[in-house]
A and B are shown apart, each in its own frame.
Chain A
């Protein structure tokens, strides 16, 4: 259970790459996250996270084709590596198992008891 090297923002970015594949690059990810969270997310932040994830081996990248709205510059497209997928999966299972251990009484206390509705 080594989760310490995957920050929360990194996890979200990693998830977004998985969700947006094969068209995952910083602009699409940032726009997607902005839509999902309702917060402004800077390209630089996303780019930094992507760089880190790639260094850790969770992502791999290649340069895509140039488009006109980028002023003729190419974009870097990302895909999740198998290792990255495993880490994501690990993270998810940790969360799931913890969710599952919450008793229904506790859930209702939190106002999150959905079973009766």
Chain B
């Protein structure tokens, strides 16, 4: 199957939202999409799907989209793969975007394939770098083999060029001053899916306020060395005004919730200070913390790999080191106050 790639233009960004709240990665992608659209001299289009979410479409325009497409219908809340995929696919077929960016969240990775497969589009998963080459071809790069290598994926003969992109790797876009034309840049599109055609039903949805560790200035992360006792991690994070995070080991053991996992299967963080406590330093974890400005490692094993990837390291039990550190920070804060 050959297609006329020239028929496809514009950069689309999917604005993921749940219960009317946008996922932070949506605005990160919008900022990156703006750069790509400027380079290819195309329009940046935000795609907003949900129930009563016209405000998000307007916000997308305020954050830099040239236009927003709004599919507003009760069938889109809560999220389900088949209505989202079908609606998105219909829009892609009708309007032929060249590049489509979707957050590499569970939601984004759940439905991106339902667009890419029927469109026979190229889909690159979980990217951490995006660029366009001289011909306007998307260069989607992703870590491979546990982060030891970066593979750059191209999609020369198929459109759209789709990518899911990991949260936290790009800076977010900020809304600009109120713009009277904003609402005019929102186009409500025809909803092509109906409830009776849906293949699945959400019986129950239990979510709490999702912590966003990708935004934190200070992150204190615990690993297997916690041995079930995360108190010292929480206290140090608190006193430093930071967020608690975890390696996969601590999440798998159920000590720290999955939303706080840093690494290949978790999130990418970019704090000023990252304290890795009881974390051995598997490459999958390093991948999620490599963008930190300063890394501190606390581990009982002097040969742990984490020390090779830390600015400051101390050999010791986190259950002894962290409380002392917390105490010292507290003392200093009291002096300052």
A and B interact: no
Q: Interface of A with B (CB < 8 Å)? A: none
B→A interface (CB under 8 Å)? none
